[in-house]
Amino acid sequence: DPTTYEDTLRNMFGIHAYIGFTLDRIVTYAVRQLQQLVTEETCAECYRLHSKYKLKGGAGGNCNGAASRQSAESAYLRAATGSTFWR
């Protein structure tokens, strides 16, 4: 229980306990986000699309090479916005 954990930390560390329970919340939220990334089909489809266009040079890069990637990035944009999982 997060409330019990916070109270225990406050009893042990006083005003310095906020570091412990704030870090606990950050780790908890990060784990939830990572779990969603690996289990949601939409996230997996986004990753596959990015991987496909990264090999073609259309998934970003240095600013000084942007002009040479313009057509590949446009194709990536069309593929991403035309996909059914965005609707």
d(CA 83, CA 87): 8
pLDDT of residue 85: 54
Res. 20: pLDDT tops 70: yes
Q: What are phi and psi of 48, to 5 degrees?
A: -65, -45
Query: What are the tens digits of pLDDT across the range 43-77?
Result: 888 888 888 888 887 887 777 777 888 888 888 88
Q: Are 72 and 50 in contact (CB under 8 A)?
A: no
Token pair 């690996």 is found at 38
pTM above 0.75, yes or no: no
Q: Are 62 and 81 in contact (CB under 8 A)?
A: no
The token pair that represents 55 in the structure block: 């090999």
The token pair that represents 78 in the structure block: 């069309």
Q: Can you tell me the mean pLDDT for 20-26?
A: 91
